[in-house]
């Protein structure tokens, strides 16, 4: 008999008896539960367009036949979703009508059809359903998808826009990370980069959050950033400036990644030629199922892939992390930025995304 192992990446032993039996036509039905929660951020978080100290989330659970899967919606204000909009959306989801929780195609298509937006609310259902199915199969999703859990990337760690002293202090605190991410797009861009470089030579990824407006100025900045050891730039110009973005991507010395400009699967063919790659986030794209498809499609088009997040608990971060062996860059520091996480799951160990070998998305609810 195979012995169990605590090391992610090893084979999780298959059960000697069939996994939780499906009761076709029987009594078991899925039940969806949810509650609002507010994440407290460790530092004031400032990007090109806003500052904040909390992030609203909604925690979800789907129970089936005595097994519970966990999910989460995270709603940073710029996404346009709130506690109220997510609770309202979830009140319209009826999972009790499905006999078989494995019918992901039908269930998630129906949920997507409830409204045109609400991508975070949809992700909260998608993640809990994936977690439930992994638990019913007694396998983690990296195994179900066929990925090598040891091939996870290092995650970047975000240094927000701040004063020179604070940037220097945050950079020193981030010594364990192998990639730093900086938020640019203000008149302090060069100061922030120079300040980080006064502390460390760690590679930097830069996120402009649509903060630059002129393509020629942006191109000069890209050349300067490359000299400073920046390795990739997210959303340098507003997403509406498609022609300018394509012009910049053609000439850029650094990979240009679309974030605000690429939300869902259907956006990817249009993004080819406009960006070198895409930033996939579960909260933008309705969850794990579509995120997986986005990565496969982007790869087939020869595009680069980044896996990003919002400020989230270890629940949504763990869900995303099962896709991380497939990506070029991971930005999965969301749970590290909060002080009131409610899950243990994927961890960051010496800067590397480190998956748990628990089934499903690999999370365990903390007692808080
Ligand atoms: Mg971004």
pLDDT over 90 (residue 222): yes
Give the C-alpha distances (Å, rounded to integers) separating 346 from 135, 213, 333.
16, 37, 11
CA atoms 160, 162, 168, 172: torsion sign: negative
Q: Is it the case that residue 301 has pLDDT exceeding 90?
A: yes
Q: Quote the ligand 1 centre to 266 CA distance (angstroms).
A: 19
Give me ligand 1 centre to Cα 234, in Å.
6
CA of 149 to the centre of ligand 1 (A): 25
CA of 54 to the centre of ligand 1 (A): 18
Other C-beta atoms closer than 10 Å to the C-beta of 15 total 11
Report the separation in Å between the CA atom of 123 and the middle of ligand 1, taken as the mean of its atom positions: 18
**What integer pLDDT is reported at residue 199 of this predicted model?**
96
Q: Which two tokens stand for residue 343?
A: 């899950």
**Dist. CA 254 → ligand 1 center (Å):** 16
Distance 209 CA to ligand 1 centre (A): 6
Asked if residue 302 lies in contact with residue 142, where contact means CB atoms within 8 angstroms, the answer is no
pLDDT band with cut points at 50, 70 and 90 for residue 155: very high
Query: pLDDT (tens digit, 9 = 90+) per residue, 12-34?
Result: 555 444 445 555 556 789 999 99
pLDDT at residue 161, rounded to an integer: 82
pLDDT at 48: 59
Four-point Cα dihedral 323, 306, 343, 13, nearest 10: 20
Structure confidence at residue 259 (pLDDT): 97
pLDDT confidence of residue 3: 39
Tell me the CA–centroid distance for residue 277 and ligand 1, in Å. 12
pLDDT band at 11 (very low <50, low <70, confident <90, very high): low
Is pLDDT above 80 for 47?
Answer: no
What residues does each domain of the chain span?
Answer: 4-141, 147-365
CATH code of the domain made up of 147-365: 3.20.20.120
Could you tell me the distance, in angstroms and rounded to a whole number, from the CA of residue 42 to the centre of ligand 1? Answer: 19
Note whether 182 and 207 are within 8 A (CB). Answer: yes
Ligand 1 centroid distance, CA of 281 (Å): 9
Q: By C-alpha distance, which of 121, 73, 131 is closest to 101? A: 131
Long-range contacts of the stretch 216-223 (C-beta < 8 A, 24+): 218/248, 219/248, 219/251, 219/252, 221/189, 222/248, 222/252, 222/253, 222/254, 223/253
Interatomic CA distance for residues 101 and 42, integer angstroms: 37
Gap from CA of 23 to ligand 1 centroid (Å):
43
pLDDT at 281 exceeding the cut of 80: yes
Distance, CA of 333 to CA of 316 (rounded, Å) = 11
Distance 35 CA to ligand 1 centre (A): 27
pLDDT of residue 17: 45
pLDDT of 2 > 50? The answer is no
Strand 347-349, strand 304-307: pairing: unpaired
**CA distances, 192 to each of 16, 114, 160, 167, 254 (Å):** 56, 43, 9, 7, 19
Topology alike, domains 4-141 and 147-365? no
Residue in this structure with the two tokens 């579960």, named with its chain if needed? 282
Residues 236 and 48: their CA atoms lie apart, in Å, by 11
Express as a percent the part of the chain with pLDDT over 90.
Answer: 84
Class of domain 4-141: alpha beta
The whole-number pLDDT of residue 7 equals 45
pLDDT at 18: 46
Place of tokens 């494995």: 102
Q: What is the Å distance from ligand 1's center to 219 Cα?
A: 18
Output Rg (C-alpha) for the chain, integer angstroms. 21
Q: Say how many Å lie between the CA of residue 213 and the centre of ligand 1.
A: 16
308 Cα: distance to centroid of ligand 1 (angstroms): 8
Measured in Å, residue 148 CA sits from the centre of ligand 1 at: 26
For range 221-249, the mean pLDDT: 98
Q: How far is the CA of 331 from the centre of ligand 1 (A)?
A: 9
Which pLDDT score is estimated for 1? 33
Q: How confident is the model at residue 270 (pLDDT cuts 50, 70, 90)?
A: very high
145 CA from centroid of ligand 1 (Å)? 26
- Mean pLDDT over all residues of the chain? 92
Question: Per-residue pLDDT tens for 311-350?
Answer: 999 999 999 999 999 999 999 998 998 999 999 999 999 9
């Amino acid at each position: 008999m195979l012995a169990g192992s605590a090391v992610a990446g090893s084979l999780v032993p298959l059960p000697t008896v069939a996994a939780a039996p499906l009761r076709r036509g029987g009594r078991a039905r899925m039940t969806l539960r949810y509650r609002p929660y507010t994440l407290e951020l460790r530092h004031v978080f400032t990007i090109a367009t806003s500052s904040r100290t909390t992030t609203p989330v909604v925690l979800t659970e789907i129970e089936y036949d005595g097994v519970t899967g966990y999910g989460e919606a995270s709603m940073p204000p710029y996404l346009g979703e709130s506690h109220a909009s997510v609770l309202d959306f979830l009140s319209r989801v009826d999972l009790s009508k499905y006999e078989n929780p494995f019918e992901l195609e039908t269930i998630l298509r129906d949920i997507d059809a409830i409204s045109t937006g609400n991508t975070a609310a949809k992700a909260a259902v998608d993640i809990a359903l994936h977690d439930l199915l992994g638990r019913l199969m007694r396998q983690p999703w990296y195994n179900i998808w066929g990925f090598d859990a040891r091939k996870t990337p290092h995650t970047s760690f975000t240094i927000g826009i701040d004063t020179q002293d604070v940037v220097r202090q945050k950079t020193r605190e981030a010594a364990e990370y192998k990639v730093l991410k900086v938020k640019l797009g203000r008149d302090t861009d060069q100061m922030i980069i120079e300040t980080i470089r006064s502390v460390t030579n760690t590679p930097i990824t830069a996120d402009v959050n649509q903060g630059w407006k002129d393509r020629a100025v942006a191109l000069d900045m890209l050349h300067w950033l490359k000299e400073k050891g920046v390795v990739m730039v997210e959303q340098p110009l507003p997403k509406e400036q498609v022609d300018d973005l394509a012009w910049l991507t053609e000439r850029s010395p650094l990979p240009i990644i679309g974030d605000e400009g690429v939300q869902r699967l259907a956006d990817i063919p249009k993004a080819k030629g406009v960006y070198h790659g895409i930033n996939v986030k579960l909260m933008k794209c309705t969850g794990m199922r579509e995120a997986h498809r986005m990565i496969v499609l982007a790869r087939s088009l020869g595009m680069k892939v980044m896996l990003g997040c919002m400020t989230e608990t270890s629940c949504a971060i763990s869900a995303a992390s099962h896709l991380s062996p497939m990506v070029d860059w991971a930005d999965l520091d969301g749970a590290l930025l909060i002080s009131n996480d409610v899950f243990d799951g994927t961890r960051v160990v010496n800067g590397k995304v480190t998956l748990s070998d628990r089934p499903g998305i690999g999370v365990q609810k903390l007692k808080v």
